[in-house]
Amino acid sequence: MELAVRQEDADVLLKQKNVLDETVLDKYRTAGQIVQTGLKYIISLINESYHLQKSDQPISVQELCILGDSFLINLLSKVYNNQIKEKGISYPTSIEVNELAYGFSPELDDEGQYFFTAGDVVTISLGVQIDGYTSQVSHTLVIYPPGIELNSEIKPEGPLLGSKADAICASHIATETLMGLLGLSLTPEKLPIALKNEGGISGRLLRNIVDSIAESFGCIVLPGSKIRRIRRFLAGQAEGIVAERDFKGVVWDESHQEERLLNKAPQSQELILSDSKSNIKPSGTNNSSAIPSDEFIVLPGEVYQIDIRISSLNDFNEVGLITLEEIDHFTGKNNKQEFNSKSTIHIRDFAINHQLKLRTSRKLLSEIDNQFSVYPFKLSYTSKHFPIDLSKDLTEQFNDIKQDLKTFKLGLSELNNRHLIKSRPIQLTKFVPLEQILISANPTGKHGIDMNKPVLPGMEIPLPQLGVSSLKLKSLLNKHGKSVTNVRESITVVINNVNNGEIIRLTGGSKSSSPSWVHSQYQLKGAYVEAINQIGQLLQDKRFGIKVKEIYPYKLNQDKSVETSMQLD
Amino acid sequence: MIFTCNTCGLNFPTAEDQRSHMKSDWHRYNLKRRVAQLPPIEEDLFNTKVASLTIDDENTIAVKPKGEKQLTKKDQRRKEKEAIQEKKRQILEVARQAMLAKMKEEGITEVTPEVTDKEVVEPTEETVEQVLPTEEASNSNEELTEEQEADKILQEKMKNKIEITPTTCLFSQPKYNKVFDTVDENIDHMFKNFGLYIPEKTYLVDKEGLIGYLGEKISFGFCIACNYQGRNAEAAREHMKQKRHMRIPYESEDEKLEISQFYDFSSTYADVPASPAAAGESDEDQWEDVSDEGEGAEDDEDDEDDLPPADQDAIYQNGLELVLPSGAVIGHRSMARYYRQNLAPERILSEGQGTVIAAETRHMLSVRDRQELATQKRVWSREKKRSDVNDRRAAKFINQQEHYRDQLLQ
């Protein structure tokens, strides 16, 4: 690698700057507040457009994305203007509907227009960073049939039922429980008795609890879900590109589903090709600290991102597993009559340096390096008409941005060809029957890694025990894959040990995004039921329970502008 | 019958005697003298000459093995120079001690530099005079070495020296008694009558010193413009008048440096603060000047080594680069190929980029070593060549097959 940072500098950047103190907490809080407000703003836009039908034409996903980003940028421009050098969007506003799992944030010039219909589950994800301290949120809400507003709350006619409702329930309970568990690392004496002998809040415990919640709702935790520690400038924005040193977190992928399925059928041991996961060689790195492992203990003073995606298996009668499929813009167009879109979120890979030929691409690269730093960006951010002025006519500004997008398109493709930037693929959730995996011929074994698939080091092979490579799994998806709806809840929490110890919920929660009205026919069951219930009670108990501080959003006015007065919880 | 030797003018009773004489060195020597049209010498005289020469030879033979290597001219010159410098140093040391003693006697603790200058000069001359006779006495029998000659000349000069004050005209005969009230008047007079032009007048800070210095030079019998040295001041004046050498040379670096102590160019360096070099110049510089005058122009090459880097404060030399006061850097020509390189500017990382790079553990493909690649290519080409040769060789024997194979049927 050409670039290197001196050890002393690296220590400062990776360790000292991540020690919590008042200034750091303040940056986290401000970022959280902006994210909360942004989430509230987008939810209100969706409500007005779909639930109350205030406008004649419903608002499209493209418009929601650009409006959300503009709103965040406008809010960011009011804080920390002279003290810090880097602030901005850490996660472009993406809105995924039903089976779309990741990275869907269409530009204004996208070919299709995307709208919601009643019964859809819509995941809104966004995030901002202030001086590298990042807050991110994902929230899934349900689109109901148009209803009425009562006391500034949407009152749907009835709850959502079915498999989508199960997934929403599971994800909500999982997120809340995980937040409580992380908070218990501050006060281990309050741990439920069932969890006392686990030896602290370990990665294994976190995984088991989430798995048990999902299972009791007939759901599965999707690949790409994670509970990970975030650090300054290292908030998982470049996962799959950068092999991050000292990765700490629980990550789910297909191998965990495989393990679960094989455990269910202990008599079919002859299927297993290789027992241990240890002989898998991660292709990206040889540094063991970059490979996720469950062997860690959550410590006070750390910041965690809880990012749980859940899909229900209740619609399928057969045994199978759920994986993510990348939309290939080119082949997708030719072979399938399915949903198709170009990936729009890009991130700069700083380890790669190349002297570019085109002037436009050089200009674009310098702009990316200076403006977006290490966080993902969309091409529309480079437009000079961005951010959109929300108080003026929107259609005209949309057209201006569309014009500007054309100028940088060529440069972008060169940057992509030279691997200076990596585009984040749009991913879909797909169900594959296990039968199809077992009966398909797999002569090459697990050799062959799909480089387009962003995975963490050590997770290149999706089914290591069955010896199925990612390329093989991808080919199976073409024929046997079935789309399945996914639900995502993601929050950022700070385990604050500065004063008297509390957990700061930077994003999510009832103040910005109350859960949609759903009804599931399942109930919590399994080994951890009591513990989960106790944690729920501890979270409710203001006096003796887990202290949780939620970050409140700014107040939204009627015309969608924000009251300028700072209102900290 | 008488046997004679016409060369040496001798008679011999027998032929044997004559023959033995003819074989002797004495006869041979006389023969050579005869060829050179010189009269023959007596045998006694010849023998004494031979004896003295053999002693010399023995001496040289005895000395030689010690030296081991034969001294080259260069080494000789170097040794002579070192000896001169050593002697100079000793003289200086004696003089300094004498001066210190004098100062102690007078009870002077603090002296301004100008005062020391004057006081320093005079004691030296005295001490030099004191020191020299004793040395001369000790080795009066031996041949005078070069340095001693120089000392002797110096001594003579000292005797001949006459005082020329800065207010006296440098070039006029003493009988006209051209003495002025001020230095400026004197300079004006010399400019009008003799065309003495003083270079860089605006930066001249010590007029009196400069004229005094020139006067001193003349008083020792030196020409101010060339290497000429006369017996006394009168001779120097006559020479300068004849050759029109009534000018201060100011062209080469050495010439400039010779009178640089009277100038102050610090106002021309915009950035560098004026250095107190002129005031704080060490005593040794002064001493150097004196000795230079003594040895005259022979020592010119030495000057380069002995002179302190006068432009030290103005230009900072950094290896093969000169850093000018303005901050510009001048590189040496030998490094031109490196300066001509067009390298990409260094990337300056922001904190975020630095953090990500610091946390990065991917192993990247490194740029391939060029030399290694060349070796690899050579190996490939050799393999290809070998296989080609093999093919051709195989083609040669295509007709020597045991069984005929029709190409068309293959």
Query: CB A286 to CB B363 under 8 A?
Result: yes
Which of B343, B349, B361, B367 to probe by mutation at the A interface, max A CB count within 10 Å? B361
Q: Confirm whether B372 is domain-assigned.
A: no
Of the candidates A100, A46, A43, A38, which has an alpha carbon nearest to the alpha carbon of residue A69?
A: A38
B266, B290, B312 — which closes off a domain? B266
Mean pLDDT of A195-202: 82
Instruction: Give, to the nearest 10 degrees, the angle between helix B113-138 and helix B73-106.
Output: 120
Report if residue B7 sits inside a domain: yes
Query: Is B122 domain-assigned?
Result: yes
Whether pLDDT at A178 is above 70 = yes
| pTM summary value | 0.63
Residue A551 reports pLDDT greater than 50: yes
Diameter over CA atoms, chain A: 67
Identify whether residues B20 and B98 lie together within a single domain. no
Inter-chain residue contact B357 with A245, CB threshold 8 Å:
no
Per DSSP, the residues of A253-287 read -HHHHHHHHHHH-TT-GGG-S---STTPPPSSB--
Q: Is A430:A477 a contact under the CB 8 Å cutoff? A: yes
CA dihedral A104, A107, A111, A113 (to 10 degrees): 70
Using the Cβ of A93 and the Cβ atoms of chain B, whether some distance falls under 8 Å is answered with no
Distance (Å) from the alpha carbon of A266 to chain B's nearest alpha carbon: 38
Cβ separation A85–B362 shorter than 8 A: no
Contact between A373 and B350 using a beta-carbon 8 Å cutoff = yes
Say whether B349 and A3 touch across the interface (CB within 8 A). yes
Alpha-helical segments (H) within A202-241: 203-216
CB-based contact B359 A287, cutoff 8 Å: no
Could B355 and A242 be called an inter-chain contact, meaning their C-beta atoms sit closer than 8 Å?
A: no
- What residue has token string 């020329």? B164
- In a shared domain, residues B331 and B287: yes
CA-nearest residue to A18 within chain B is B355
Which of these ranges, A124-133, A446-455, B107-116, has the smallest mean pLDDT? B107-116
Nearest to A206 by CA among A231, A174, A234, A235: A174
Rounded Cα gap, residues A169 and A466, in angstroms: 32
Residues found in chain B: 410
**Same domain, residue pair B284 and B318:** yes
Burial group, residue B286, by CB count within 10 angstroms (0-12, 13-18, 19+): middle
Q: Which residue has the tokens 């908030």?
A: A235
Q: Is residue B126 part of a domain?
A: yes
Q: Is residue B281 part of a domain?
A: yes
**H-type alpha helices, A90-160:** none
Pair of tokens at residue B307: 């002179």
Candidates A4, A132, A290; nearest CB to B361: A290
| Distance of residue A297 Cα from the nearest chain B Cα, in angstroms | 21
Which of A52, A56, A93 has its CA nearest to residue A72? A93
The last residue of a domain, from among B63, B92, B109: B63
Which residues, including other chains, have CB under 8 Å from residue A268's CB and lie 6 or more apart?
Answer: A262
Tokens of B113: 């530099």
Q: Tell me the pLDDT tens digit for each residue of B281-333.
A: 333 333 333 333 334 434 444 433 444 444 445 677 777 888 888 878 888 88
Those residues of chain B whose CB sits closer than 8 Å to some CB in chain A are 344, 347, 349-364
At residue B221, φ and ψ (nearest 5 deg) are: 95, 15
Q: Do B167 and B96 belong together in one domain? A: no
- Do B160 and B246 belong to one domain? yes
Contact A3 B362 (CB under 8 A): no
Distance from CA of A369 to the nearest CA of B (A): 9
Q: Which of A291, A350, A460 to mutate to test the interface with B (most CBs of B within 10 A)?
A: A350
Chain B touched by A298 (CB under 8 Å): no
Cβ–Cβ contact A366 with B under 8 A: no
**Rounded CA Rg of chain A:** 23
pLDDT in tens, B205-236: 888 888 888 888 888 888 888 888 888 888 88
Both B121 and B189 in one domain: the answer is no
Domain membership flag for residue B253: yes
B257: in domain? yes
Q: Which residue of A has its CA nearest to B346?
A: A3
Nearest to A13 among B344, B355, B364 (CB): B355
Q: How much is the ipTM here?
A: 0.88
Please give the Cα distance from B218 to B127 (Å, whole number): 22
The per-residue pLDDT for A445 is 78
- Binary contact (A232, B364; C-beta < 8 A): no
Contact yes or no for A555/A563 (Cβ under 8 A):
yes
pLDDT at res. B69: 64
Which of B214, B248, B266 delimits the end of a domain? B266
| Average pLDDT, integer, range B190-216 | 87
For B363, nearest residue in chain A (alpha carbons): A285
Say if residue B169 is in the same domain as residue B258: yes
Q: What are phi and psi of A239, to 5 degrees?
A: -65, 135
Contact assessment for residue A385 and residue A404, using Cβ atoms and an 8 Å cutoff? yes
Mean pLDDT over residues A33-38, rounded? 94
Overall domain count for chain B: 4
**What does the mean pLDDT of chain A come to?**
86
In angstroms, what separates the C-alpha of A89 from chain B's closest C-alpha? 13
Structural domain for B167, as ranges = 154-266
- A177 pLDDT more than 90: yes
CB neighbourhood size of B187 (10 A): 23
| Nearest residue in chain A measured CA to CA from B351 | A13
Q: Which residue has the tokens 């898998």?
A: A280
Q: Is A280 exposed, middle or buried (0-12, 13-18, 19+ CB in 10 A)?
A: middle
Average pLDDT estimate for A493-519: 87
- Which of A374, A455, A456 should one mutate to test binding to chain B, selecting the residue with the greatest count of B CBs within 10 A? A374
Q: Cβ(B198)–Cβ(B248) under 8 Å?
A: yes
Within-domain flag for B401: no
Q: Between B345 and A120, where is the model more confident?
A: A120
Which chain B positions have a beta carbon within 8 Å of A132's beta carbon? 351-352, 355
Q: Are B158 and B219 in contact (CB under 8 A)?
A: no
What chain A holds in terms of domains, given with CATH numbers, is 23-248+296-315+484-550 (3.90.230.10), 344-424 (1.10.10.10)
Q: Round to whole Å and give the CA distance between B318 and A453.
A: 54
Using a CB-CB cut-off of 8 Å, the residues of chain B touching A1 are 357, 360, 362-364
Q: Do B89 and B38 share a domain, yes or no?
A: no
Residue B383, H or E segment: helix B370-396
